[in-house]
Structure 1
Amino acid sequence: MPDAPLQLSVLIPLYNEDESLPELHDWIVRVMEENGFSYEILFMDDGSKDRSWAVIRELGRRNPHVRGIRFTRNYGKTAALQTGFQTVRGEVVITMDADLQDSPDEIPELYRMITEENYDLVSGWKQKRYDPISKTLPTKLFNAATRGISEVQLHDFNCGLKAYRQDVVKNITIYGEMHRYIPVIAKWNGYSRIGEKVVQHQARKYGTTKFGLERFMYGFLDLLSIAFVNKFGRRPMHFFGSLGTLMFFFGSLLTVWLIGLKVYNIYTHQPYRNVTDDPLFFIALTVIIVGSQLFLGGFLGELLVKQSIHQTGDYLIADEVDHQAGMLVKKD
């Protein structure tokens, strides 16, 4: 008889957090046992240089519910989460940071919101933070910009404490520094039932933060990237073709105007100079060439997208009815 599916997977990406891991592990185990959850804890060691991996191995020997994966070098939090998402087995997936600033006591309510309130994803909101203003102020600006661009109304996109239905994490792909935008990516993949829960934020107990201010610049660039890819990734001609056509039309119009001006001056016996002596002619020529290249780029992009869809067919299916077989296959 097959084993019953796990209720919860707790996915913890980490880098140099050996001091906090035993305490975090014991805290999670206490919460799981108090609530009677079947669970696994997956530690994703992102190339730590301290004793983090030795601690994870020891925790695995003590607790069969503990699993660990170690990267050969530091790839970043997004890589750790993406690899973990493809590995977890629980029906509900909880992600949290390893620095003890996320409270495992929040897990039961997050699990309830997914299973009973039917959310696809629930994001934590650290309404009261114990971080310096050099971190909280850029975070507020970052969150406001993300809400404006994505139209996902969350207060705290960067909170590491989140809960997901398993099929959400199995059907999204993140890369670069896009872990901050998982709710945005999930919504754009059709998982629109996104909730938010105020969660407790605790001051860091051990070590120092592994992120600098440059993460906000990289994060903003990633936001623009995923916004563009989501809108035009499957229809590049709509962007490049439209822009190229407008530029070609403007350059052609400017060229016709210059030629018409010369003809008019000839017939009216006014002084004139050759069209090629006018700087506007070269501006018009440049605009025409760039417009043609953009249009061609959009056309080639359309061919590549068509070929990719034909090969992979990677559209997400929510439900399927097979009348011939007399059955309904429910995907969610």
Structure 2
Amino acid sequence: MDPEVSIVIPAYNEEEALPHLLERLAEILPQIPPAEVLIVDDGSTDGTPEILKDSVKRYPWLRVLILRRNFGQSAALTCGLDHARGKILVTLDADLQNDPADIPKLLDKLKEGYDLVSGWRKNRQDPFFTRKLPSRVANALISRITGVRLHDYGCTLKAYRREALQGVTIYGELHRFIPVLADLRGARIAEVPVRHHPRRFGKSKYGLSRTYRVLLDLLLMFFFQRFATRPLHFFGLPGGLLFGTGFLIELYLSFLKIFGHQQIGHRPLLLLGVLLILTGINLVCTGLLAELIMRAYYEGSGRRTYALREILP
């Protein structure tokens, strides 16, 4: 019989943490509905694959997926979710900083009618200046721009109803924005505080260098939320403003040339006006092309611009 809950865990070079993680999961699984655990080895270069191959023989609830190389956390999560069989999907990190014992708490919150429950590392056990402070700023910025109010977007410990992720595709490093992508499909989202432990095994795979990538992904989420189905509005407004400004500049210079008999060929303003007009035309044309691509995508794939929750008699 298919399990009711699927716990998806991406792992990369976690040979020290895995034995302890599996022991903790063995303690927790009897407390929740029938479950399977899918651990996705994301191209580890240590002993992680060998440990998983041995462990799958010991634990009947364990399934192992081994990727050919390191594709990144988003790809590993996508692989696990694609192969999960449960109606409820739980994601978890392998380093044991999140406690598997909090999984029942998330499942109980789902029963209240939510589609997605996100963990909140309220008392996060990480260095303040290199991890906690940048995370707080990023979470506040993401919540403000997207309108999806969460304290902790970076917490991998989350629980989903399977239907909440239908139509949600994770590319690049968008795994932290799954709540935003689910919100676009009308998901009801909640957040619960979860425990967070100091790192005992291995080292963090993240650093301050990812801040810039998060900002770029946030820009992408802003576009998805507001203009994914009407890209001409996104490109057309600034394009029209630039074109109009450039046109007024050239009109002013033409007036000086015709009625004031002034030389305008040496004026930088002339080049600025031409540049603004060309840039405005380029943006509008980009919006038209994006509009055509968007329509071809939806009509060619058979996807709809809406998500239906239920039909009543």
TM over 0.5: yes
Say whether residues 1:301 and 2:280 are aligned partners.
Answer: no
Match runs of 1:277-316 below 5 Å: 277-315=266-304
Runs of 4+ in 1 over 3 A off after TM superposition: none
Q: How many residues align?
A: 311
After superposition, the CA RMSD in angstroms is 1.6
Q: 1:217 offset after TM fit, Å?
A: 2.0
Match of 1:28 in 2: 25
- Superposed CA offset, 1:89-142 (max 9, x none): 11111111101111111111211111x201111111111121111211111111
Give the whole-Å Cα distance in 1 for the aligned partners of 2:178 and 2:293: 26
Say whether residues 1:145 and 2:141 are aligned partners.
Answer: yes
Q: 1:23 offset after TM fit, Å?
A: 1.5
Larger Rg over CA atoms: 1
* Paired residue type of 1:202: H
Give the whole-Å Cα distance in 2 for the aligned partners of 1:84 and 1:318: 25
2:231 is aligned, of 233, 236, 248, to 236
Match of 2:307 in 1: 317
Give the whole-Å Cα distance in 1 for the aligned partners of 2:227 and 2:67: 33
Say whether residues 1:102 and 2:98 are aligned partners.
Answer: yes
Task: Report if aligned partners of 2:32, 2:104 keep a CA contact under 8 Å in 1.
Answer: no
Q: 1:291 offset after TM fit, Å?
A: 1.0
Superposition TM-score, scaled by structure 2 size = 0.94
Match runs of 1:62-141 below 5 Å: 62-114=58-110, 116-133=111-128, 134-141=130-137
SS at match of 2:83: coil
Please, which runs of 5 or more residues in structure 2 have no aligned partner?
none
Task: Report if aligned partners of 1:31, 1:104 keep a CA contact under 8 Å in 2.
Answer: yes
- Superposed CA offset, 1:154-192 (max 9, x none): 11110111111111234311111111111111112211x
Please, which runs of 5 or more residues in structure 1 have no aligned partner?
267-271, 322-326
Match of 1:324 in 2: none
Match of 1:218 in 2: 213
Task: Report if aligned partners of 2:148, 2:180 keep a CA contact under 8 Å in 1.
Answer: yes
Seen in structure 2, the aligned counterparts of structure 1 residues 307 and 48 have a Cα distance that, compared at 3 Å, is same
Task: Report if aligned partners of 2:146, 2:221 keep a CA contact under 8 Å in 1.
Answer: no
SS at match of 2:152: coil
Task: Report if aligned partners of 1:32, 1:39 keep a CA contact under 8 Å in 2.
Answer: yes
Q: Percent identity?
A: 38
Match of 1:196 in 2: 191
Superposition TM-score, scaled by structure 1 size = 0.89
Match of 1:175 in 2: 171
- Superposed CA offset, 1:201-235 (max 9, x none): 11122111121211222112111122123322221
Match of 1:15 in 2: 12
2:158 is aligned, of 135, 157, 162, to 162
Say whether residues 1:49 and 2:39 are aligned partners.
Answer: no
